[in-house]
Structure 1
Amino acid sequence: MSARPTVILHTDKPDGAIAVLGETHPDLEVHPCDTYAGLPALIERTAAEVVYSIRFDGTPRYPRQAVTESPTVKWVSIGGSGTDHLGRWDPARLTVTNSAGVAAGMLAEYALGAILSFSLDLRGFERRQQARQWGGGRVEPIEGKTILIIGLGKTGEAVARRAQTMGVRTLGIRARPKPMPCLDEVHGPDALLALIGRADFIVCCVPLLPATRGLVGKAAFAAMKPSVVLIDISRGGVVEEAALLAALDAGRIKGAALDVFTAEPLPAEHPLWGYDNVAVTPHCAAVYEGWDIKSVRMFADNLARYRRGEPLENVVNPERGY
């Protein structure tokens, strides 16, 4: 740690980030980089100590080795919450922080919007409107229904708070269960299959880890109610897509709202595009006007702590992924 570290701002929208750092840390040497390909050489040339990085062009091409194995980089600040694109890193040599909470409210609104869309049959009414068909369709209240939230970080908590205000019973799963004011029940991961059959809505918001890959798979779908709606705002790979497709084909679930996929962009030939009861969005649920500036400001606050030699906020444990 140094009091005047060289900083790289790795983002596809560097102007706003540069302005924030110019305002909050005007004495620092700051280098913008708006491509994946240019980052390794920039790190080497500048001997950067700190990298603020946003995963703006997908995971497969992300230059993770340049970030996690650089001899000069001591701290990587991730602009979002997920860190699976970094792979593994040595926490004794490299500190990784994230911006957990920067999009929690927006993700929760996406989840609630998806729930309301299905309970109000908005997609069905849209089809009838296009056909100029009067009548048909049925709305259902969500009050009194049950939601299961898999993952109770800041996003999961935000989902639970909003659901609770709508009169929905809230069940949650977290790695280290403890009572939470916005949850009626909190359980550990071992309770997943026992809880999943009680849920009318299931929201996935866990990080992608070895322990969560394929977490919602064949056994989970077999335990679900046929009236359940699945909302996935986690990471592609948490929901096993083959099991999801089988459940959709067999009519074992009411529908799904999916913002994340195993392959992104979702290939045009992928069968998920073709289901009337599946809402597909392009990994955009956390992207709202101003989120990037809010994230950079969180980084700037943490950078002040770093320069003072104080503990950083939102340090990620590579074993837990959060």
Structure 2
Amino acid sequence: MMRPRVLVLAPDADRYLAELGALASSGTELVAAPAAQGALDDPRAFPVVLGQPDIVAEYLAGGAEVRWIQSTWAGVGPLLSQARRGFVLTGVKDVFGAPITDYVMAYVLAFEIKLRERLGRQARRSWWPEDSGSPTGKTMGILGTGSIGRHLAKVAAAFGMRVTGLSRSGRRVDGFDAVFPVRRLAEFLSEADYVVCTLPDTPATRGLLDKDAFAALKKSAYLVNVGRGPVLDEFALADALERGDMAGAALDVFVEEPLPRDNPLWHARNCIVTAHVAARSLPADIAAIFRENYERFLSGESLKFRIDIDRGY
């Protein structure tokens, strides 16, 4: 049987090729392209694409036709507008939970021990014996109860935290003390000491955390965003931080990346900005998912981690 040709479309495409050697050995033709234009200039057809969503979206916009796209990212926002082109879209799950949890808990602990203030005092040679806080007994509210949210919930609970979740349905999920439906967002936010956003960028989530949402928070609450930037209103967040309506924030994702130099979040009170580093796509992990799905594709089986285009995840 003819094995479908695969286009690997990502800046680090060569790294993926190195991980997919077994497929090449079994007769699958693999072609690497770091950018969309190079792939569009190739006259060959590529029924299967393994690639970075924003670059794949450019490739599709250029008129390419494919049958299946395997994303190298957890978020597939750039591809959602292309969804009616007749292809199957699969995502990435069960590989980002650990690194994102590390990121979130690192900043929870940093806020609790007042790390920024202590470092500032050290720089000024100022002795500051202020007591630290503790996550134990506090509530972490996680927006999103998928694989990342569940992994984080387990670790937060091990720190003695009460863990609540927010999902579209509010259906109970193991590992969460309670799960709220989206219609009870204000109540969910009002109970949390730490609000952690793991949500994807979809029409339903875009702008969910707005001025009214920030007004529902405790003044002592912190926000950590490891989902997608468009889920929150950045200017409303900066205003809430400056007014002292909330205690602080750690943000790894933004509407525009790199974050523009004139964005107010750079200098907002007690706001930590990081450059989308909470989790990165490791070729070895993504390639393992792709290899399994490729064999499923050949045999006509259902693919793992298929994206529901209407929901965006």
Q: TM-score, normalised by structure 1?
A: 0.92
Unaligned regions of 5+ residues in structure 1, if any? none
The one-letter code sitting in structure 2 at the alignment partner of 1:31 is V
Q: Is the 8 A contact 1:68 1:86 kept in 2?
A: no
Residue among 211, 221, 245 paired with 1:218: 211
Secondary structure at 1:46's aligned position in 2?
coil
Of residues 157-166 and 18-27 in structure 1, the stretch that sits farther from structure 2 once superposed is: 18-27
1:67-216 matches, within 5 Å, as 67=60, 70=63, 72-90=65-83, 93-216=86-209
Counterpart residue number, 2:284: 293
5+ residue gaps, structure 2, are none
Match of 1:53 among 51, 54, 59: 51
Opposite residue 180 of structure 1, the aligned amino acid is V
Q: Deviations over 1:38-86 (max 9, x none)?
A: 23333xx22000000125xxx5xx4515337856310000011111011
In 1, the alpha carbon distance for the partners of 2:131 and 2:296 equals 54
Residue-pair matches, total: 312
- Ranked by relative contact order (alpha carbons within 8 Å, sequence separation 6 or more), the top structure is 1
Q: Give yes or no for contact 1:3–1:308 (8 Å, CA) kept in 2.
A: no
TM-score norm. by structure 2 comes to 0.94
After the TM superposition, which segments of 4 or more aligned residues of structure 1 sit over 4 Å from their partners? 68-71
1:19-40 Cα distance to aligned partner (Å, 9 max, x none): 2221244211110011243233
Alignment correspondent of 1:241: 234
On the 8 A contact 2:145/2:173 being kept in 1, the answer is no
Name the residue aligned to 1:13.
12
Is residue 104–residue 155 contact of structure 1 (8 Å, CA) maintained in 2?
Answer: yes
**SS class of match (1:18):** helix
Give matches, 1:224-303, under 5 Å.
224-287=217-280, 291-303=282-294
CA contact (8 A) 1:81 1:101 kept: no
| Amino acid corresponding to residue 211 of structure 1 in structure 2 | A
User: Which residue identity does 1:83 align to in structure 2?
Assistant: V
Question: Structure 1's 34 and 73: CA in aligned 2 closer, same or farther, altered over 3 A?
Answer: same
